[in-house]
Amino acid sequence: MFCAVYCLDKSDTAALREEHLVVHRAYLDTFASHLFFSGPLQTPDASASLGSLFILNVDTFSQAEDFIGNEPFNKAGIFEKVTIHRMRKGRYNPALADRT
């Protein structure tokens, strides 16, 4: 099943995010077999990160909960709000990924 994990940062956490970036990326590498897509949410002008979006392909909803419960940015207290939603695959256009 697909799960979308939507995370919004607390204000003034840019330095904390940068401090934990290496361990965050390493954690994502360990979850690569379930991580369909991930990336930072940004301001309209891309000058700052606002949070993170993860789309996971997992067997159970609790796997998504475990993923975000152990995610380094979350454990460091960067996220103000985390929302997990199960989702169905709708339209998919992988060619668009290469345009950015």
What residues does each domain of the chain span? 2-89
The length of the chain in residues reads 100
User: Rounded to the nearest 10 degrees, how much is the dihedral formed by the CA atoms of 86, 97, 32, 84?
Assistant: -20
Question: Six-digit token pair at 52?
Answer: 């993170």
Element (H, E) at 63: helix 61-70
Low-confidence ranges of the chain (pLDDT < 70): 99-100
Q: Percent of the chain beyond pLDDT 90?
A: 88
pLDDT given at position 67: 98
Residue 4, token pair as written in the block? 């979308």
Residue 100: what pLDDT?
A: 62
Is the CATH code 1.20.1250.20 the one for domain 2-89?
A: no
Q: What pLDDT sits at residue 96?
A: 81
Q: What is the pLDDT of residue 90?
A: 87
Closest to 36 in 3D by CA, of 58, 21, 52: 58
